[in-house]
């Protein structure tokens, strides 16, 4: 009987014990799972925080390096800064990679710029009259040219036209010569021709030859040139006037270049000039050359002939 009572009580208590044991296990499992969840959450949070901090530092260093890059030219070399502080710039693994390259440019010593040529517009006045002219001074001998050429243009031309058409300024640069371009006044000749056919302009000391000779002497004094370095050349009416100057002023001009020009005394007026240009001078109607020469020149004119122009040698 007693055994039956014990077994019955045991049977009654056992379900409750099992229930208490099972309920204790469930609470323990729940607490363990909660602890695991909290641990995993903390680990994930810590890992996420460290990754975010690393990314933040990298971005901060990159932004700082980018912002200070334009000022790197004015900053001391990176090696000196590291030696003093012992720290590298934040966010930069190797500062030498981001250091701006220093370009070593070798500058040549500043050479003195070459002097430029000069083209001057002037007016010359003397007792015989006045004349405007252009003067070209070469760049190679701007202060003291090697010689002087007086260039006389043709009819309906200007000094600028004559300079462009003859390219004498280029030769002036090559040989170091000064070039003078006198201009004929339209008041003396409506067509701009030199009055080589009028007797008053065919003699020494009068008219256009006297003006041109006076202009040449002035330039000789200014440029410190002697007779052996002074020449005259001309085209058409300018060529005829060049022949008159070479014949009438041998003490000024050492040689003359004549292109399509008539000889001195070939005509005594406009009509005879047209006839002389068509068929040549008759020889009887022209003024005697010996009568037009100045006595002060003496017999040296008779032995003088127009020489071929040879550019002077460089000194």
* Global pTM value: 0.57
Host H or E run for residue 211: helix 207-223
Confidence of residue 312 (pLDDT cuts 50, 70, 90): very low
Strands 118-126 and 255-259: what pairing?
unpaired
Alpha helices by DSSP H, listed for 69-146, are: 78-85, 95-98
CA gap 183, 144 in Å, rounded = 24
Q: pLDDT, tens digit, for every residue of 278-291?
A: 888 765 444 444 44
Q: Which residue has the tokens 């065919």?
A: 202
Phi and psi, residue 176, nearest 5°: 70, 40
Q: pLDDT, tens digit, for every residue of 117-146?
A: 899 999 999 999 999 999 999 998 888 999
Q: What is the pLDDT of residue 37?
A: 72
Judged by average pLDDT, the poorest of 43-52, 90-99, 265-274, 305-314 is 305-314
CA gap 131, 126 in Å, rounded = 9
pLDDT mean over 94-122: 63
Q: What is the pLDDT of residue 126?
A: 96
CA gap 202, 200 in Å, rounded = 6
CA gap 55, 297 in Å, rounded = 106
Please tell me which residue, 216 or 18, carries the higher pLDDT value: 216
Q: What is the pLDDT of residue 66?
A: 62
Question: Would you say residue 113 has pLDDT above 60?
Answer: no
Question: Would you say residue 58 has pLDDT above 80?
Answer: no
Q: What is the pLDDT of residue 143?
A: 86
Please tell me which residue, 268 or 42, carries the higher pLDDT value: 268
Strand partners, 70: none
Report which DSSP code applies to 147. E
Q: pLDDT, tens digit, for every residue of 249-258?
A: 999 999 999 9
Q: What is the pLDDT of residue 269?
A: 92
Q: What is the pLDDT of residue 34?
A: 74
Helix (H, G, I), strand (E, B) or coil at 178: strand
Tell me what the pLDDT averaged over the chain comes to.
75
Ramachandran sector of residue 221 (left: φ over 0; alpha: ψ -120 to 50; beta: rest): alpha
Percent of the chain with pLDDT over 90: 49
Q: What is the pLDDT of residue 315?
A: 39
pLDDT mean over 242-261: 96
Quick one: which of 171, 174, 151 has its CA closest to 161?
A: 151
């Amino acid at each position: 009987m007693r055994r039956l009572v014990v077994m019955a009580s045991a049977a009654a208590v056992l379900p409750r014990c099992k229930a208490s044991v099972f309920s204790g296990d469930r609470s323990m499992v729940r607490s363990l799972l909660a602890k695991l969840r909290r641990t995993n959450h903390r680990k994930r949070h810590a890992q996420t925080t460290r990754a975010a901090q690393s990314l933040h530092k990298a971005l901060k260093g990159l932004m700082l390096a980018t912002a200070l890059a334009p000022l790197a030219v004015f900053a001391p070399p990176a090696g000196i800064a590291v030696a003093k502080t012992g720290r590298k710039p934040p966010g930069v693994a190797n500062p030498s990679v981001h250091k701006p390259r220093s370009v070593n440019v070798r500058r040549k010593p500043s050479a003195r710029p070459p002097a430029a040529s000069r083209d001057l517009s002037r007016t010359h006045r003397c007792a015989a009259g006045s004349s405007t002219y252009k003067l070209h001074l070469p760049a190679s001998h701007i202060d003291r040219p090697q010689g002087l050429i007086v260039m006389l243009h043709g009819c309906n031309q200007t000094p600028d036209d004559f300079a462009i058409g003859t390219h004498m300024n280029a030769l002036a640069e090559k040989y170091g010569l000064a070039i003078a371009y006198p201009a004929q006044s339209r008041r003396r000749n409506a067509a701009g021709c030199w009055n080589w056919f009028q007797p008053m302009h065919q003699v020494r000391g009068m008219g256009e030859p006297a003006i041109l000779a006076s202009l040449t002497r002035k330039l000789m004094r200014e440029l410190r040139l002697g007779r052996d370095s002074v020449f005259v050349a001309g085209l058409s009416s300018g060529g005829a006037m060049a022949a008159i100057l070479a014949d009438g002023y041998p003490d000024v001009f050492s040689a003359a270049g004549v292109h399509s020009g008539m000889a001195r005394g070939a005509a005594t007026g406009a009509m005879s000039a047209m006839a002389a240009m068509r068929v040549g001078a008759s020889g009887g109607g022209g003024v005697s050359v010996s009568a037009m020469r100045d006595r002060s020149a003496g017999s040296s004119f008779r032995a003088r002939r127009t020489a071929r122009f040879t550019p002077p040698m460089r000194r």
